[in-house]
Amino acid sequence: MKKLHLTSLGCAKNLVDSELMLGALELGGWQAVEDPAEAELLLVNTCGFIRPAAEEAVDEILDLAEYKEGDPTKKLVVTGCFVQRYGKDLQDALPEVDLFVGIDDQQRLLELISQLADGKAERLILSQPSCSLISSAQPRRLSTPPFRSWLKITEGCDNRCAYCMIPAIRGKLRSRPASDLIIEARALEQGGVKELSLIAQDLTAYGSDLGGSLASLLRQLLAETSIPWLRLLYLYPASVTDELLELMAGQPRLLPYLDIPFQHVSSNVLRRMGRRYGRQDLDRLVSRIRSLIPDCALRTTLMVGFPGETEEDADELLDCLQRWQLDHVGVFPYEDEEGAPAAEFQPKVPDEVKQERFARVMEAQAAISQQRLRRLVGREEEVLVEGLSQETDLLLEGRARFQAPDIDGCVYINEGEASPGELVKVRIAEAHVYDLVGGIIS
Ligand code: SF4
């Protein structure tokens, strides 16, 4: 078999695209290998959402290009958001690359690679990102452990946040039909998936182009599958409805966990960001979630140093974090993105001020996150066992319902035995800043 090496950069949505490309290539006679030195085809699925991601993509491309030296039969193919965003500029900048493929053309990758082998392919294949949508009919090679997976329910985004290039890269919102998602979820369940995380650029936008809704999709997933853990990631704050929260409150299979990127809390900053809500809306949302789903873990993402952010805005952010006591918070210093409206906004916040605000938020939230975990000591929690701990073979590692894969902390298990993919009851004995420790009780 012909051998390929795939590197997937960026988020879980990109990883799903990588899994689909791998599925198609395997069906076409390719075999994935770990070592790039063994591969004839070196494939990189890039992220280009923000500048550091684009830099990471260039580094990875240049690293892989070294494996081509002295062997003209090896081909280097680059696809994903970085290609979609920078398109034509890349052809001169990266002569090492044999083929660039935009997002909409990923479904034709097998055909494009055989054209490349025949010397017939153009070097850049780039369509407008507007119509392609993945489907359950495409073969998919999972890269996650067999007991957990991602379900990408939409492509693109219709929001126009002033700092974000995603709509330009990924195009307008397209929701996958619920029937297709059910087929995919059932197949994943048959393959052993116990935790299915629903992902999208904006999960709450699901169905607005089809006359459906996220709540209605969830009802169908609950009825048509028995997957024990369904997790919701990336919800737009203004679109989290009572209908959705009430459904979650009454359905233990919908994990009491919500990842809702607020981006900021100050109404002034949010308005300039182009977000459709203000501080009071966030206050109401947090208290609605706390009253309807008291156990719900909340994750958010925040940006500090957006143009025009004042010291009062930064103080308001810290004040809200203290009041809301969120479980998990990701913080990023704002950076201008070429082509995004916010890149033109003034006044810019100096780098040292951004860093100081970043450090203040991180420090405050570390104490809050630990406090939130401490309340769990002594409680019994359901944990999905991932396997031996990455730290030491003497411990098992798993995640509780309030810990999402790849981003939140974990539960270290120091008593009892279980296999990867088992759901067990653990009594929590210790809480650290991001992780918990406990023993299996059943
Ligand atoms: S909702 Fe998210 S993906 Fe869509 S424009 Fe805003 S930040 Fe970008």
Ligand 1 atom 3: residue of nearest CA: 201
Report how far ligand 1's centroid is from the alpha carbon of 157 (Å).
6
Residue 129 in contact with residue 170, Cβ under 8 Å?
yes
- Kindly give the number of the ligand 1 atom that is closest to the alpha carbon of 170: 3
The bridge status of strand 99-101 relative to strand 75-80 is parallel
Nearest CA-CA partner of 337 in 16, 25, 54: 54
Ligand 1 atom 8: residue of nearest CA: 164
Q: Is 439 exposed, middle or buried (0-12, 13-18, 19+ CB in 10 A)?
A: middle
- For a mutational test of ligand 1's pocket, the pick from 157, 163, 240, 269, i.e. the residue with the most ligand atoms closer than 8 A to its C-beta, is 157
Report how far ligand 1's centroid is from the alpha carbon of 236 (Å).
9
Mean pLDDT of residues grouped by 10 in the chain (442 residues)?
96 97 97 96 93 93 93 93 91 94 94 90 82 93 97 97 94 97 98 98 97 97 98 98 98 98 98 98 98 96 98 98 97 95 98 98 95 95 96 94 96 97 98 94 90
> Regarding the domain delimited by 148-374, which CATH topology (the fold level of the hierarchy) does it fall under?
pyruvate-formate lyase- activating enzyme (3.80.30)
**pLDDT of res. 442:** 83
Under CATH, to which class is 2-125 assigned?
A: alpha beta
Report how far ligand 1's centroid is from the alpha carbon of 164 (Å).
6
Domain boundaries, given as residue ranges, for the chain: 2-125, 148-374, 380-440
Report how far ligand 1's centroid is from the alpha carbon of 234 (Å).
10
Asked if residue 167 has its Cβ within 6 Å of ligand 1, the reply is yes
Q: Distance (Å, rounded) from C-alpha 432 to C-alpha 409?
A: 10
Asked if residue 162 has its Cβ within 6 Å of ligand 1, the reply is no
CATH code assigned to 380-440: 2.40.50.140
Report how far ligand 1's centroid is from the alpha carbon of 267 (Å).
17
- Kindly give the number of the ligand 1 atom that is closest to the alpha carbon of 275: 6
Q: Distance (Å, rounded) from C-alpha 288 to C-alpha 123?
A: 52
**pLDDT of res. 222:** 98
**pLDDT of res. 145:** 97
Residue 231 in contact with residue 221, Cβ under 8 Å?
no
Please enumerate in sequence order all residues whose Cβ is within 8 A of that of 291, keeping only pairs 6 or more positions apart, or say none.
none
- Kindly give the number of the ligand 1 atom that is closest to the alpha carbon of 236: 1
- Kindly give the number of the ligand 1 atom that is closest to the alpha carbon of 202: 1
**pLDDT of res. 131:** 76
**pLDDT of res. 118:** 86
